[in-house]
Structure 1
Amino acid sequence: MRRPRRQATPRQPHRGSAPNRDAAPRRRPQRTRGGGALDAWLLNHARALLFSLGKLYRNASSSAMTVAVIGIALALPSGLYVVLQNLHSVVGGLDQGVQISLFLKRSVDNEALQTLSRKLDTWPEVSRTQAITPAQGLAEFRKYSGFGNTLDALGSNPLPPVIVVYPKLQGGDSAHVEALQKRLQQLPEVDEARLDLAWVQRLYAIVDIAQRAVWVIGGMLGIAVLLVVGNTIRLDILNRRQEIEVAKLIGATDAFIRRPFLYGGLWLGLLGGILALLLVSLAIALLAGPVQHLSGLYASSFTLNGLDGASSLRLLGLSVLLGLGGSWLAVGRHLRDIEPS
């Protein structure tokens, strides 16, 4: 008879030996619920962002026309803004020519004339002064008038001493210049203080009207951009009506359905703003040469400046906001009307 075999018993690990790593399951680090929700939220937004960009790429022809309309609509007020900024720089140089002519009494000699001129230079309202003696005034008048023989027939010099005062004028603020004129008129040495400021006031009034016109045109074209983006998103919603109904049947929320359309408006606004910047830069490049040639004919160093970095960022931000606003209005209005039947 065969003896029954002993069943093999599992060996017990030695007390000093290392424990079996496979015997105890590993504990995987668990993510917190808040971190997982944030990751899912970011992932959904990234997918919607890329999905909306891909949809614009698949409908390249219609998307390009919409972006072109937005770019042109934004380029028009942006170009007018550039023209207005350059006009401000030109006017800022012209107002330096504003001057107050002080006709002094004939009893004021040359030494008193220079003393008064140096005194006026210390006034905070005065940029600089120029003293003109009667002899200098007569020589200048003889040079530019052409009446040299007539002046020789005069027995004495009829011109009084003059001080030309250049006030500090910034931004078309002429009230303090008029106050300075009245203050100069009260000086005992002054016979008459004459100020010619009407042309500067008219020029600044024209610039103010142009600035308001730019804001009005910009506001109207901004509304046009809202309507263009809203109509584009509305057509997209109508084309995807059945898809939206199916998504609502399986439990998709309005926020989930709205997300790709909002990002579509964002992309349209951003691309339209970039196109507007390119159009404005192209226009500045085409006009820079003729403007520089014209300024050279007037012995001026004026150059045409375009949009700076801050203005470009503001334009892009405004275009993105207009795109989001137009898409939000369209989605909020038409998405409520689509319900699964």
Structure 2
Amino acid sequence: MLANRNKNQQTADNVFFSRWKRQIQYAWQNVFNDFRQHILASLLTIIVIAISITLPTIGYLLWKNANEAAHQWYPTPNLTVYLDKSLTTAQTDELLDKIKQYPEVENINYLSRDETLDEFRLWSGFSDAIDLLDENPLPAVAIVMPKDDAKQTNILHAIQAQIIKLKGVDDVRLDDSWFTRLTALTDMVKTIVWTISILMIIAVSLVIGNSIRLAIFARRQTIVVMQLIGATEGFILRPFLYSGIFNGFVSSVVALILSEIFIFQIDAIILNVSSIFGTIFTIEGLNWDEALFIVLISTIIGWLSALVATKKYLNMTHIA
């Protein structure tokens, strides 16, 4: 008895799987047949969606490479601590140990008075004039390198206020003007990219939804007949949902190809410009995880847009 029950259960599972497989094959066959029958309109729809995906993708690539160029061309923001000239070696070591204990500090580069004089003589061009001086007028300097999570304007100013209160510190300088401007610029680019991305997501949803709506109207008589013979709502919806997935997936792949073409076209120009500034910088394209994320998001948007459009227009025409 138990063996017969298991056999019947296995047979029922096989029948269900076979039926489910045939329904999926039927839905995808309808998608490909509809694409072949309206190939020009389908291609135009895919191109429009692909361009809508390409624009925020290119914006993201520009923001990504701008950050990379900023880290390559600009130095790390740091604090320059000028020490009291009267400090002894032991007092200087004690002061540096206090500064190192701050959780935001990663490293300290110490320059003695003689080393700062040599640096000034090397870069100023006044070596002959410096030799005429009776004593070294320059103090010892400690260059404080902050940690990565502390490279923010408000945190750097807070560290500056704390260090300047220490005994033996004459002054603390923070040259963060370029850092503030760079942060504002990258934040602006990021905001623009997000805004374009949101608008493009809306555009993609509308384009896919409109194409699905037209497909429903073109096949509304067939849908009525399918309902009259007992077709379920899921069976009716499945071809349209798969059409949205197909449009989103293919369009995202085309968008990735267009993005790579854009990178290839401007890479030589950027390389030429960067060589003028005495550095070598190449444009980076999308990583595999980034490309997969774009394909996944586009496919999900295609499915959701098709689901909303199909539900809406089936209900409006009283088909579902």
Which of the five TM-score ranges fits, normalised by the shorter chain? 0.7 to 0.9
- 1:313–1:89: structure 2 CA closer, same or farther, 3 Å change rule? same
- 261-270 or 169-178, larger mean C-alpha shift: 169-178
Query: In the alignment, is residue 129 of structure 1 matched against residue 113 of structure 2?
Result: no
3-state secondary structure, aligned to 1:164? strand
Q: Provide Cα deviations, 1:125-156, integer angstroms capped at 9, x if missing partner.
A: 33333333333333433343344554455443
- 1:334–1:204: structure 2 CA closer, same or farther, 3 Å change rule? same
For the Cα contact (< 8 Å) 2:104–2:150, is it kept in 1?
no
Give the drift of 1:178.
Answer: 2.9
For 1:161 and 1:311, locate their aligned partners in 2 and report how far apart those are by CA, in whole Å.
Answer: 48
- 1:120–1:301: structure 2 CA closer, same or farther, 3 Å change rule? farther
Query: In the alignment, is residue 229 of structure 1 matched against residue 236 of structure 2?
Result: no
3-state secondary structure, aligned to 2:315? coil
For 2:281 and 2:101, locate their aligned partners in 1 and report how far apart those are by CA, in whole Å.
Answer: 31
Q: Kindly name which structure, 1 or 2, has the bigger radius of gyration based on alpha carbons.
A: 1
Give the drift of 1:221.
Answer: 0.7
3-state secondary structure, aligned to 1:306? coil
**2:36 — aligned with what?**
57
Gaps of 5+ in 1: 1-27
Query: In the alignment, is residue 198 of structure 1 matched against residue 193 of structure 2?
Result: no
Structure 2 letter corresponding to 1:156: E
From 184, 187, 205, the counterpart of 2:166: 187
- 1:31–1:110: structure 2 CA closer, same or farther, 3 Å change rule? closer
**1:241 — aligned with what?**
220
From 319, 334, 340, the counterpart of 2:298: 319
Q: Provide Cα deviations, 1:84-124, integer angstroms capped at 9, x if missing partner.
A: 22223334456752121111112135676577557756765
Structure 2 letter corresponding to 1:48: A
Gaps of 5+ in 2: 1-6
From 13, 16, 32, the counterpart of 2:11: 32
Structure 1 letter corresponding to 2:47: A
- 255-264 or 161-170, larger mean C-alpha shift: 161-170
Q: Provide Cα deviations, 1:198-221, integer angstroms capped at 9, x if missing partner.
A: 331332122222212211110111
Q: Provide Cα deviations, 1:273-323, integer angstroms capped at 9, x if missing partner.
A: 101111111111222233233334434454321111111111111111121
For the Cα contact (< 8 Å) 1:104–1:191, is it kept in 2?
yes
The alignment's C-alpha RMSD in Å is: 2.8
Moved over 6 A (4+): none
- 1:211–1:30: structure 2 CA closer, same or farther, 3 Å change rule? closer
Structure 1 letter corresponding to 2:181: R
Please list, as runs of the form range in 1=range in 2, the aligned pairs for 1:8-47 lying within 5 A after superposition: 32-47=11-26
Structure 2 letter corresponding to 1:313: L
For 2:29 and 2:150, locate their aligned partners in 1 and report how far apart those are by CA, in whole Å.
Answer: 48
TM-score (normalizing by structure 2): 0.85
3-state secondary structure, aligned to 2:58? helix
3-state secondary structure, aligned to 2:284? coil
TM-score (normalizing by structure 1): 0.80
For the Cα contact (< 8 Å) 2:252–2:295, is it kept in 1?
yes
For 1:55 and 1:275, locate their aligned partners in 2 and report how far apart those are by CA, in whole Å.
Answer: 20
For the Cα contact (< 8 Å) 1:248–1:339, is it kept in 2?
no
- 1:172–1:143: structure 2 CA closer, same or farther, 3 Å change rule? closer
**1:307 — aligned with what?**
286
- 1:203–1:30: structure 2 CA closer, same or farther, 3 Å change rule? closer
3-state secondary structure, aligned to 1:194? strand
**1:266 — aligned with what?**
245
From 44, 60, 80, the counterpart of 2:59: 80
For 2:24 and 2:244, locate their aligned partners in 1 and report how far apart those are by CA, in whole Å.
Answer: 14
For the Cα contact (< 8 Å) 1:169–1:177, is it kept in 2?
no
Q: Provide Cα deviations, 1:224-275, integer angstroms capped at 9, x if missing partner.
A: 0111111111111222222223323333333222211111111111110101
Which structure has more helix as a fraction of its residues? Answer: 2
For the Cα contact (< 8 Å) 1:126–1:168, is it kept in 2?
yes
- 134-143 or 67-76, larger mean C-alpha shift: 134-143
For the Cα contact (< 8 Å) 1:117–1:130, is it kept in 2?
no
For the Cα contact (< 8 Å) 1:229–1:327, is it kept in 2?
yes
Size of the aligned set, in residue pairs, is 313
For the Cα contact (< 8 Å) 2:121–2:130, is it kept in 1?
yes
For the Cα contact (< 8 Å) 1:132–1:163, is it kept in 2?
yes
For 1:172 and 1:42, locate their aligned partners in 2 and report how far apart those are by CA, in whole Å.
Answer: 56
